[in-house]
């Protein structure tokens, strides 16, 4: 089956090691973007993946497109236009200091693009799923138009939608936005939601009184009642011990039941960015292969844990490494 991902390709600029930006004499550059990360991860697992969107027609855009192509993603439906590339800067955390991100995305070629410039019809032809999310509408009024156009095209083609909430306060707060109303509309068209009880609280304007698994199930049942098209909700819970030691559990809720994994320790963390996208890809990998809620939750947890070991935004773990995952690590494979 083929998956189509839609969103903005970005370049990430990071001081080497764990330097602060004020110390940096150089910056390392990698390609990312939430939907691009999911596309690359699914391609690495052997799925046919297309990427739809628009990227600037200059060497920076060339670099971004090349990264997707090298990951095995079909970029034929990625439009090109004059303009600037979306950027973000990250200071990598260490010990008790968390990582920090600064966006430089305003007025990018993607954020200002005309939906008519993007070949949604071709990108969705014969595909089994559209994966998109809440970052595109957070970019501004035109981002909302783009998000609506993508989902309208999916609805017209009869393609189910996976929507990752990916709430980015810095982006929503930069303009006169109404995230609850906008995201409620977009999630209404989704079959799969990647999001936790906090995302559902935002969507529904209410809090949930339970604790732990009970609270998550209460939130899931409220979301299923509010969104008739929704069939699955996938989420993680993360407890931070230090910047390089996290405890993570994964959960998938369906209308008729749920499964939550045991918590695992993820230590010696190399990279935090992109781990949520790896989780989404792991869940979708399980879904595409006909897995049940337990399989999807465990596969999502395995892929997100493995992504913590890989520098850069994209998870390039293959099927064999995923299948051989152990929460306790292992010796060298020879």
CB atoms within 10 A of CB 157: 16
In this prediction, residues 89-113 reach a mean pLDDT of 91
- The per-residue pLDDT for 212 is 83
pLDDT band at 95; cut points 50, 70, 90: confident
- The per-residue pLDDT for 23 is 93
- The per-residue pLDDT for 128 is 97
CB atoms within 10 A of CB 99: 15
Span 5-48, pLDDT tens digits = 999 999 999 999 889 999 999 999 999 999 999 999 999 999 99
- The per-residue pLDDT for 330 is 47
- The per-residue pLDDT for 1 is 87
In this prediction, residues 132-149 reach a mean pLDDT of 98
Sequence-distant (6+) residues with CB within 8 A of 76 are: 50, 122
- The per-residue pLDDT for 94 is 81
- Closest of 151, 188, 163 to residue 38, by C-alpha: 163
In this prediction, residues 175-192 reach a mean pLDDT of 97
Query: With contact defined as beta carbons under 8 Å apart, do 134 and 70 qualify?
Result: no
DSSP character for 115?
Answer: G
- Which of 17-31, 82-96, 129-143 holds the top average pLDDT? 129-143
Predicted TM-score of the model (pTM):
0.95
User: Residue 233 forms beta bridges with which residues?
Assistant: 193, 253
Query: With contact defined as beta carbons under 8 Å apart, do 281 and 38 qualify?
Result: yes
- The per-residue pLDDT for 327 is 65
- Calculate the CA dihedral of residues 325, 329, 332, 334 and round it to 10 degrees: -30
Span 274-327, pLDDT tens digits = 999 999 999 999 999 999 999 999 999 999 999 999 999 999 999 999 998 876
- The per-residue pLDDT for 87 is 96
Is 60 exceeded by the pLDDT of residue 114? yes
- The per-residue pLDDT for 305 is 95
Is 90 exceeded by the pLDDT of residue 104? yes
What are the phi and psi torsion angles at 244 (to 5°)? -120, 20
Share of the chain above pLDDT 90, in %: 87
- The per-residue pLDDT for 334 is 37
Is 90 exceeded by the pLDDT of residue 79? yes
Is 50 exceeded by the pLDDT of residue 332? no
- The per-residue pLDDT for 17 is 86
Hey, is 48 helix, strand or coil? strand
Supply the Cα-derived Rg of the chain in whole angstroms: 19
Domain 2-313 belongs to what architecture?
3-Layer(aba) Sandwich (3.40)
Share of the chain above pLDDT 70, in %: 97
d(CA 263, CA 212): 12
CA distances from 300 to 236, 261, 332 (A): 9, 10, 23
Span 205-257, pLDDT tens digits = 999 987 788 999 999 999 999 999 999 999 999 998 888 899 999 999 999 99
Structural domain spans, the chain:
2-313
- The per-residue pLDDT for 333 is 43
In this prediction, residues 109-118 reach a mean pLDDT of 97
């Amino acid at each position: 089956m083929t998956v189509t991902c839609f969103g903005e390709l970005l370049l990430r600029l990071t001081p080497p090691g764990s330097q602060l930006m004020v110390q940096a004499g150089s910056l390392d550059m990698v390609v990312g973007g939430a939907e691009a990360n999911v596309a690359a991860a699914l391609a690495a697992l052997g799925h046919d993946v297309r990427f739809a969107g628009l990227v600037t027609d200059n060497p920076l855009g060339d670099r971004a497109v090349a990264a997707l192509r090298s990951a095995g993603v079909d970029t034929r439906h990625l439009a090109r236009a004059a303009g600037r590339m979306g950027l973000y800067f990250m200071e990598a955390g260490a010990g008790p200091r968390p990582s920090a991100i600064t966006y430089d995305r305003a007025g990018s070629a993607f954020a200002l693009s005309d939906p008519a410039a993007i070949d949604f019809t071709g990108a969705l032809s014969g595909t089994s799923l559209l994966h998109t999310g809440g970052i595109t509408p957070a970019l501004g009024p035109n981002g909302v138009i783009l998000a609506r156009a993508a989902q309208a095209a999916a609805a017209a083609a009869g393609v189910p939608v996976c929507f990752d909430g990916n709430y980015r306060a810095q982006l929503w707060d930069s303009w006169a936005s109404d995230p609850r109303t906008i995201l409620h509309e977009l999630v209404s068209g989704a079959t799969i939601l990647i999001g936790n009880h906090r995302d559902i609280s935002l969507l529904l304007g209410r809090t949930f009184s339970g604790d732990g698994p009970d609270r998550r199930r209460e939130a899931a049942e409220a979301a299923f009642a509010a969104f008739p098209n929704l069939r699955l909700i996938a989420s993680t819970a993360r407890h931070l011990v230090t910047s390089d030691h996290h405890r993570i559990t994964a959960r998938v809720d369906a209308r008729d039941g749920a499964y939550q994994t045991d918590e695992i320790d993820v230590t010696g963390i190399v990279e935090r960015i992109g781990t949520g996208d790896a989780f989404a890809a792991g869940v979708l990998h399980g879904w595409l292969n006909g897995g049940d809620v337990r399989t999807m939750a465990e596969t999502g947890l395995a892929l997100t844990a493995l992504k913590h070991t890989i520098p850069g935004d994209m998870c390039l773990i293959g099927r064999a490494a995923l299948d051989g995952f152990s929460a306790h690590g292992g010796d060298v494979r020879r």
